[in-house]
Amino acid sequence: MPYAHITGWGMYVPEPVLTNDDLAKIVDTSDEWIRERTGIRERRIARAHEFPSTLGTKAALQALSVANLRPTDLDLIICTTSSPEYVFPATAALIQDQIGAPQAGAFDLMAACSGFIYAVNMAAQAIRSGSIRNALVVGTETLSRFVNWQDRSTCILFGDGAGAFVLQASSQPGGVLSAVMHSDGSGGNLLTLPVLGGRVPANEATLHRGHQYIYMDGREVFRFATRMMVSATEEVLRNARLSKEEVSLIIPHQANYRIIETAARGLRLPMERFVVNVDRYGNTSTASIPIATVEAVQSGRLKPGDTVVFVGFGAGLTWGALAAKWTGPLPSPRKITVSRYRLVGRVRSLLRRLQRYLEGLIWGRKA
Ligand code: UT7
């Protein structure tokens, strides 16, 4: 049975920065309150021409470049997002087209902020089963479009960004060691975004009631999060037969500094063992774990051979954790220029559209 290694990683955050002081001009809040209660100082906000697929594509191309893998060699793309570009088509399919990955199946996975852990686990399971060799997992968000900028309890929290991993099969032991995924739908009402779904139609009445915005019971989510971060980490380590001492780094979902601090206390681990960047990006939902991972690699905190635990929680309610032996790119004979494949992919995509248009002319279109 092959092992599933994480061989590439990438991230992208939009340039515009929204600071706590900027927010204090919009709602009744202060830099001091936000920093004390959440640890957040600023977040990034997507520009009008940036969408989940735009951000996700940039992160994906970087991840493929690190892995030195051609987009054309991808068998599977899983995009996980809490702010999809459309209900359908899947954001994963938009990314498949934009990176030029004609052999890849593509679908979205919805597990809110736990999505990235779920998706990496699903990709790893597909690789371990032998059915695929190369997978791309993307977490991408433009949550700023679903935030009620008049609601001070939620608008301070969220930010936009994307992160991606490439996973590949190898006979070398290592890579994803174990994973746990959990859910409790009885808490579904604690964190919701109603209007994108089939239950609450987008009409004048529902929009007037603000159903197009994120609703959250912050205190309840906080209590749930601190409990589940501890239990999921302990469970995944038990399954992988690892002790806490063997873990080099824990990369948690970045929702609130206090949640991470409380979980660290619960696990009796020092904060130095945790990666925290919520101060600069806020909560980027499915993108927060890969963004934190990329920064940990870039700063030298995560190195090949290290044991790392990813742990997250979110709406659903969902939660999960994944333990991995960190690998890095697999050896390959020559350097690949991913942008060249992307260009070919763009041309292929244009030709497909043209072909469809011409076929429409030949076979006739219904008005
Ligand atoms: O990815 C998962 C998504 N979500 C989360 O992980 C969030 C989990 N929850 C949290 O992070 C925290 O609950 C919050 C940061 C959302 C809120 O912090 P808190 O310490 O739980 O505050 P609270 O909701 O208990 O509110 C305390 C007070 C309230 O005033 P009163 O009722 O005590 O007078 C709020 O109205 O703080 C007030 N408040 C604010 N004040 C200034 C709420 N938001 C703000 C604000 N600025 N932005």
Instruction: For residue 36, tell me if it sits in a domain.
Output: yes
The structure's pTM equals 0.96
Instruction: For residue 365, tell me if it sits in a domain.
Output: no
Mutational test site, ligand 1, from 30, 37, 148, max ligand atoms within 8 Å of CB = 37
Instruction: For residue 331, tell me if it sits in a domain.
Output: no
- The CATH number of the domain holding residue 105 is 3.40.47.10
Mutational test site, ligand 1, from 219, 278, 288, 289, max ligand atoms within 8 Å of CB = 219
Examine the residue annotation and report whether 211 is marked as an active-site residue of this protein.
Answer: no
Instruction: For residue 364, tell me if it sits in a domain.
Output: no
| Residues 224-263: tens digit of each pLDDT | 999 999 999 999 999 999 999 999 999 999 999 999 999 9
| Residues 19-29: tens digit of each pLDDT | 999 999 999 99
HEC secondary structure over the chain: CCEEEEEEEEEECCCCEEEHHHHHCCCCCCHHHHHHHHCCCEEECCCCCCCHHHHHHHHHHHHHHHHCCCHHHCCEEEEECCCCCCCCCCHHHHHHHHHCCCCCEEEEECCHHHHHHHHHHHHHHHHHCCCCCEEEEEEEECHHHHCCCCCHHHHCCECCEEEEEEEEEECCCCEEEEEEEEECHHHHHHEECCCCCCCCCCCHHHHHCCCCCCEECHHHHHHHHHHHHHHHHHHHHHHCCCCHHHCCEEEECCCCHHHHHHHHHHHCCCHHHECCCHHHHCECHHHHHHHHHHHHHHCCCCCCCCEEEEEEEECCCEEEEEEEECCCCCCCCCCCCHHHHHHHHHHHHHHHHHHHHHHHHHHCCCC
Instruction: For residue 137, tell me if it sits in a domain.
Output: yes
Q: Which atom of ligand 1 has the smallest separation from the CA of 155?
A: 48
Q: How far is the CA of 218 from the centre of ligand 1 (A)?
A: 6
Q: Give the pLDDT score at 365.
A: 66
Instruction: For residue 175, tell me if it sits in a domain.
Output: yes
Name the stretches of the chain with pLDDT < 50: none
Q: Which atom of ligand 1 has the smallest separation from the CA of 256?
A: 11
Residue numbers of the domain that contains 86: 3-325
| Residues 157-188: tens digit of each pLDDT | 999 999 999 999 999 999 999 999 999 999 99
Instruction: For residue 357, tell me if it sits in a domain.
Output: no
Examine the residue annotation and report whether 20 is marked as an active-site residue of this protein.
Answer: no
Instruction: For residue 12, tell me if it sits in a domain.
Output: yes
| Residue % of the chain over a pLDDT of 90 | 89
Examine the residue annotation and report whether 49 is marked as an active-site residue of this protein.
Answer: no
The structural domain count of the chain equals 1
